Amino acid sequence: SDGSTDDTRQKAKALKDKRVIFKDDGKRLGKSARLDYILRMFTGDVLFLIDADVTITDHRIIARTIRNGKLSKSGMVGVNAQPLPATTFVEKTLETSVALMKDIAKSWNNGKNYLSFKGCFLALDGKFAKSLHMPAHIVNNDAFLYFAALQSGFSPAYLNETKVYYHSPKTLAD
């Protein structure tokens, strides 16, 4: 948790799953600093980076992403992240920009580009994840990871048929 003030702690603890490790020092350092911390702690074969505002409707998404993403070759797998229906002006504005970005991503190199990868749900090959260092000042984490995968000789995989849903910020303060 990056200094969350909502009920993130209670929701994470309610999972009662030993595979879920919840860390919270009460400080707000930013997503890049937290991702770097996760990368340094990580010891497994596959690292899933899933934002708290993601809604998963397919209970087999983890297995399907690993199987279809061929992580040892791709290094990184992204899925089709869709915003949940907008209710506020800010959400509607962001939804419009997301739709435009998705159109650009599809038409650029048949969707095989960094715009197709949304940081709210990504899977990383374990060896690739362990080799990474995320600089704290990076703003576009998903693009950084995409280009790091390419630089490391991987070919990131995008699974258009695999969908997750996320909440867009409702206000400018969000």
Distances in whole angstroms, Cα of residue 18 to Cα of each of 13, 14, 15: 10, 11, 9
**CB distance 166 to 55 below 8 Å:** yes
Give alpha helix (H) positions in 22-119.
Answer: 31-41, 61-69, 71-74, 89-107
**Residue-wise pLDDT tens digits, 89-147:** 999 999 898 889 889 988 998 788 899 898 899 999 999 999 999 999 999 999 999 99
User: Cα torsion for 116, 131, 133, 1, to the nearest 10°?
Assistant: 80
Dihedral sign (CA 10, 13, 15, 19): positive
**Residue-wise pLDDT tens digits, 13-51:** 888 888 778 888 888 888 899 999 999 999 999 999 998
Residue-level pLDDT at 43: 93
**Is residue 74 over pLDDT 90?**
yes
At 75, is the pLDDT very low, low, confident or very high (cuts 50, 70, 90)?
Answer: very high
- What global pTM score does this model have? 0.87
